[in-house]
Structure 1
Amino acid sequence: MKELLWLIVALPFSGALILALAGRKLSRLTCSIIGVGTVSLSAGLTILAGLDFMGNNPTGKPYLQVLWRWIDVGGLSPDIAFHLDAVSLTFIFVITFVGALIHLYSAQFMWKEDGFSRFFTYMNLFIGFMLVLVLADNLLLLYLGWEGVGLCSYLLIGFWYKNPDNGYAARKAFIVTRVGDTALAIGLFILFMTFHSLNIREILNAAPGTWGIGSGIAVAVALLLLGGAVGKSAQLPLQTWLPDAMAGPSPVSALIHAATMVTAGVYLIARTHVLFELAPIVQTTVAVIGAATLLIAGFSALNQHDIKRVLAYSTISQIGYMFLALGVGAWSAAIFHFMIHAFFKALLFLGAGAVIWVLNDEHNMFKMGGLRKKLPVVFWTFLIASGSLAALPLITAGYFSKDKIIWLAYVGDKGSVVLWLAALIGAFITALYTFRMVFLTFFGTTKAEPSARPGTGMVIPMLILAFFSFAAGYIELPENMGHVVLFSGFIEKTLPATATIHLGNSTELVFQLIAGLAAISGLFVAYKYYFNKPYPAAVPERNALQNFFFNGWDFDFVYDKMIVTPIVFLSRIDKDDFVDLFYKGLASLARALNIVLSASQNGRVRWYAMVIAIGAILTLTLIFYP
């Protein structure tokens, strides 16, 4: 079945093409069947190809499928080729499986919206480009997918484009991520100049023999790749676009935050891990960025009143955990948390979307409350996902993935007490803002009555994701809980195992108890301050510090004053410089010639006949002139 790898990618693109060309002529039912069906078929083929790959390939040898030669010029000859191994298989499973569930949910959620076919066109295109990104055999094809998801994020965030704020949010996401993309492009230029190839396997095999550990060129390339990763994955200092991306429909938020775009940076670092291992200072920087981001985003999430913005900052924080894991060399732990995070974060966004949907587009948690009994399925599934996000001990999948990162942040050979403390404090804050969200939304007095109930198309994806948010963690258990290593054993066929300082099972138990206590403490504090409390149905009052956190630590303000305002000022000075005179002259000349030519087009047939006759006489004269 793995021979059909190309079809996994082709199906979402084919759905997007059909909807783009004929969507306006098709019924909404037909559009939803095409949009949901193509991605669902892709997910089914992914599962079959994955079973074939794992069942008939015990060593995990990569499978390469070359479709055709893409370019052959100046020594650059990349193929349109797909590379399937443990890492890319995990990513395409999450992308297609979670993506298919989000598509199914979207069919009902977006049913009454204008641009129904356009929505599924963009969603399918997004899935297709993300699959290209993670399956690419070479960095140029990866970059095509990279830019493709950036374009689709712009289109989807600004889907409701008639609202100027949505257009601004889309442009902001596009521009901020372009900063990181530029760094990545420069890094690719350097790699090609050094290795005369952009084939990922060739570069990773040749790099250790070409660059020494800590060499300047290795550090520069790793930093440039990191620049691309922090842009796409919304990590410091390019995290400001993601909270505003909530302007898009809730299924878009689920797709961007859970299964696709924001995890691209995690994939890039994991895929090029050899380059980061050759630049230890940059790998440490990855860990520091992750630790700082997870704390900064956590404090911001704690001060939001918009339920989707809480989840947005939560995404930034959880990807910070993945970066922390990558930075300490816990490669499989980072990928494991990526997968588990996709399940529970998609469910949280779908649950939040259902609440917003039935409350007529209300986002403010302080205007909700009392929905526990009115929306029981939404409540229980949302509660399971919240427990997983908060990493409640033993009973949620998120506990096993996050606890492993916290543990390895200390015991890994690249870990430290400082990184461990950051991860531990982040766990407390995560549980606090998560259950603050749960108590404000589903408990207390009812402030708004639901106007509808989610239908089967919305409920089924939530139930499936709830199961995985609870049970998926049991495929990877620590030594003192049965030592199940199904996931890490699979991933480590492609990525290196984490080097650790072995401290014994008893020590690990102590750290597990501390991490579990942090999560439970966060839940208890949230219960004390937010459970059934009579908060007014309005935006809460905040002091100066809370406003600082609410505004994302004022990164937007700083960037506006330090970067945007000076550039706009210089642009206004520069708009009439002498260079423009040449081009304005060309434009004026073209305009004058247009006036002359348009004057000859007066609609009088006699004049046209006379001009033709004169032209014929001149032509014959030139021909027969001796």
Structure 2
Amino acid sequence: MSYLYLTILFPLIGFIILAAGRHNLPEKVAAIIGVGAVGLSALFALIAGLDFVNNGKELYVQHLWTWFSVGDFAPGISLQLDGLSLLMMGMITGVGFLIHIFASWYMRGEEDFARFFSYFNLFVASMLLLVLGDNLALLFLGWEGVGLCSYLLIGYYYQNPANGFAAIKAFTVTRVGDVFLLIALFLLYQQFGTLNTQYIVENAAAVMTQSSSITIWTALMLFLGAAGKSAQIPLQTWLADAMAGPTPVSALIHAATMVTAGVYLCCRMFSVFELAPEVMIFISITGAVTLLVAGFAALVQTDIKRILAYSTMSQLGYMFMAVGAEAYQAGLFHMLTHAFFKALLFLSSGAVILAYHHEQNIFKMGGLFYKNKFLFACFAIGGGALAAIPFLTIGFFSKDAILAAVWTQSHLAGVPVFNTLYWVGVAGAFLTSIYTFRLIWVVFFGKENTPYHEIKGITYWAPLAILAVLSTGLAIVLKAPVMSILDAAQIPAFIIPEALEAGAHGAEYIAIGVALAGLAVGVVLFAFAYNAVKGFAQTSLGSGLANICRNALGFDALYDIVFVKPYLLIAKILGRDPIDGLWLVLPAIVKAGNSFTSSRQTGSLREYASSMALGVVVLLLVVVVTQVVGK
């Protein structure tokens, strides 16, 4: 475990080399450095993980140096390895390595190949710093690092202004969340006198008062910070536009890095949240609303990557529902399984996009089943896991555990809202099955509208094959070790009381039935009655509903009215510098006086004499009035 720092150092060195030589490095050399750096990081993550397990799964802290010292505040550059950080480190380096391998194939021939991999390496290094830092100041440094890298990668094709705007939007919206997180750090330091995560988690109950105003505000600020990174309402609008970047970027952001940071933060700081049950309920409600909004939005998207983006938002909603229901381990396991099948889906979509000459509109594809059955198998497995097809896919074992926990919480906590949230989660599963089938059917069995281009290469199919296996039900073997290391990290497990076990299983069966019903509805709508669907979409009601869903219930338009336009108006007003304008009144008065007096200098004796006579008359009138008033 003494080599723990190397997991961050290797991708950081890769970033420096690639950034310094990006104009001179051949493509193959850049690929070897970029992929190799993350491969070495994954190797040392594995070694550190084995050492951790062999040493009894005890917390390990590696202090490297003191970052800075201001009074009593002296955060260190210190790395912490426990069960939770081990899970995150393995997911980031393992899935990240596979995405890097695929990217070396996908980005072949692209301009600034080395620049792309330099950003990719920095992204992994920043995310590792975020999850391995033993204090919240170091976590925040990594937090800002992934924000910077997302901006650079989303706007990678910066020649297109729309991509630059998408990058700015992602950076701006997530910065709003970061401000909330920074406020939470100030509040935590005020109460604990330190930002050491382990100390805060262990002493939260002794230092903080349950449901006090400062406790509620601290928990709320932490969650809003997490909501920004993990694209939860009201800070979700950036995620769909983040598809402007290359497809491997989408895979890395959605599967292994950025969007999982919020879930990690909430689970890491669970003891703070549990002292604010009001915020816990709010977290579950937010997750439920997000997954429902995202599900409706995904139903009508035509861009293959935007469909998957909204599905990510929806699955993150399930994870936050789990956090709010205190089912942290279920939420974290779903985060891991989601990393597998969402990376599989995004990378497969990248292969589909290349096969159709960079076409992303699913209705301009079609017939791919008859051209590439391997990609169909990958999409079928990944889509099945997304829709939680029972027993055959890993998504079933993680998502249904969350729904069972939410149902159980509705009977344990005495909070009726959890019963509603359970049904919202079930409705989300129904929508997921429909839009997943729609995607697969249109791309693989629809009419071929664009000529197919043959794709091949081990760096293309090997990562997909590995992720496909990890997305099947075979990956259930990972559940026991994951729960074991989370137990060692003292992340609470959700225990269903024996009296409620039968009801919880019934809730799972209902979720299974509804998900399968959604699949059946998708088959009917798109395989047998698609003309009727198109006919309804052309009616005023159908087109109106589709437009609302396509724009994800209009949050962008709302924010444009409430925030963007007022901001631009203020900027326009201030652009004219009104403060300086006020000071210009004095010179204007002097200038006007000068113009008036100058105009009186005519050289006419008659005008001068009459002016003097008028002045004398005015003075006499002033004297007379003064005397009269004085008497």
2:407, 2:507 within 8 Å by CA — same for their partners in 1? no
Name the stretch that deviates more: 485-494 or 516-525.
485-494
Take 2:163 and 2:548, find their aligned partners in 1: how far apart are those partners? 23
2:144 corresponds to 1:147: yes
TM-score when normalising by structure 2: 0.88
Match of 1:518 among 495, 514, 529: 514
For residues 290-316 of structure 1, what are the alpha-carbon distances to aligned partners after superposition, in whole Å with 9 as ceiling and x for unaligned?
111111100100111111000000000
Take 2:512 and 2:337, find their aligned partners in 1: how far apart are those partners? 18
User: Counterparts of 1:9-48 in structure 2 under 5 Å?
Assistant: 9-48=8-47
Take 2:315 and 2:474, find their aligned partners in 1: how far apart are those partners? 17
SS at match of 2:498: coil
2:64 corresponds to 1:103: no
Take 1:149 and 1:296, find their aligned partners in 2: how far apart are those partners? 26
Take 1:535 and 1:169, find their aligned partners in 2: how far apart are those partners? 35
Shift of 1:411: 0.9
One-letter code aligned to 1:53: F
Shift of 1:51: 1.8
Structure 1 runs not aligned, ≥5 long: 477-483, 585-626
Question: 1:223 aligns to what?
Answer: 220
Name the stretch that deviates more: 452-461 or 332-341.
452-461
User: Counterparts of 1:462-501 in structure 2 under 5 Å?
Assistant: 462-471=464-473, 473-475=475-477, 485-494=480-489, 495-501=491-497
Question: 1:563 aligns to what?
Answer: 563
Question: 2:610 aligns to what?
Answer: none
Structure 2 runs not aligned, ≥5 long: 585-631
For residues 441-490 of structure 1, what are the alpha-carbon distances to aligned partners after superposition, in whole Å with 9 as ceiling and x for unaligned?
111332222123132211100000000001454137xxxxxxx7443232
Take 1:528 and 1:583, find their aligned partners in 2: how far apart are those partners? 72
Take 2:194 and 2:423, find their aligned partners in 1: how far apart are those partners? 42
Match of 2:350 among 350, 353, 360: 353
2:370 corresponds to 1:373: yes
Take 2:421 and 2:316, find their aligned partners in 1: how far apart are those partners? 15
User: Counterparts of 1:15-414 in structure 2 under 5 Å?
Assistant: 15-57=14-56, 60-412=57-409, 413-414=412-413
SS at match of 2:461: helix
1:294, 1:321 within 8 Å by CA — same for their partners in 2? yes
SS at match of 1:543: helix
User: Counterparts of 1:386-465 in structure 2 under 5 Å?
Assistant: 386-412=383-409, 413-414=412-413, 416-465=418-467
Shift of 1:492: 2.1
Take 1:472 and 1:222, find their aligned partners in 2: how far apart are those partners? 37
Name the stretch that deviates more: 191-200 or 161-170.
191-200
Inter-CA distance 130–582: structure 2 relative to 1 (3 Å threshold) = farther
Shift of 1:505: 4.6
1:400, 1:473 within 8 Å by CA — same for their partners in 2? no
1:293, 1:320 within 8 Å by CA — same for their partners in 2? yes
2:391, 2:473 within 8 Å by CA — same for their partners in 1? no
Inter-CA distance 577–446: structure 2 relative to 1 (3 Å threshold) = closer
2:297, 2:552 within 8 Å by CA — same for their partners in 1? yes
Question: 1:600 aligns to what?
Answer: none
Take 1:3 and 1:20, find their aligned partners in 2: how far apart are those partners? 28
Take 1:486 and 1:21, find their aligned partners in 2: how far apart are those partners? 41
SS at match of 2:65: strand
Inter-CA distance 116–220: structure 2 relative to 1 (3 Å threshold) = same
1:8, 1:42 within 8 Å by CA — same for their partners in 2? yes
Inter-CA distance 556–404: structure 2 relative to 1 (3 Å threshold) = same
1:270, 1:326 within 8 Å by CA — same for their partners in 2? yes
One-letter code aligned to 1:458: Y
1:176, 1:241 within 8 Å by CA — same for their partners in 2? yes
Take 2:375 and 2:582, find their aligned partners in 1: how far apart are those partners? 63
SS at match of 1:492: helix
Take 1:505 and 1:80, find their aligned partners in 2: how far apart are those partners? 45
Take 1:104 and 1:485, find their aligned partners in 2: how far apart are those partners? 29
Question: 2:576 aligns to what?
Answer: 576
One-letter code aligned to 1:308: K
One-letter code aligned to 2:36: G
SS at match of 1:386: helix
SS at match of 2:367: coil
2:405, 2:504 within 8 Å by CA — same for their partners in 1? no
One-letter code aligned to 1:14: I
Inter-CA distance 393–170: structure 2 relative to 1 (3 Å threshold) = same
2:177, 2:226 within 8 Å by CA — same for their partners in 1? yes
Take 2:283 and 2:474, find their aligned partners in 1: how far apart are those partners? 27
Name the stretch that deviates more: 247-256 or 40-49.
40-49
SS at match of 1:184: helix
Take 2:477 and 2:214, find their aligned partners in 1: how far apart are those partners? 39
2:300, 2:549 within 8 Å by CA — same for their partners in 1? yes
Shift of 1:266: 0.3
1:12, 1:39 within 8 Å by CA — same for their partners in 2? yes
**Between Structure 1 and Structure 2, how many residues are aligned?**
573
SS at match of 1:23: coil
Shift of 1:156: 0.1
One-letter code aligned to 1:460: A
1:444, 1:532 within 8 Å by CA — same for their partners in 2? no
Question: 1:554 aligns to what?
Answer: 554
Take 1:209 and 1:579, find their aligned partners in 2: how far apart are those partners? 52
Q: Which has the larger radius of gyration?
A: 2
SS at match of 1:152: helix
TM-score when normalising by structure 1: 0.89
1:360, 1:451 within 8 Å by CA — same for their partners in 2? yes
Match of 2:524 among 501, 524, 528: 528
Shift of 1:530: 1.3
Take 2:166 and 2:274, find their aligned partners in 1: how far apart are those partners? 36
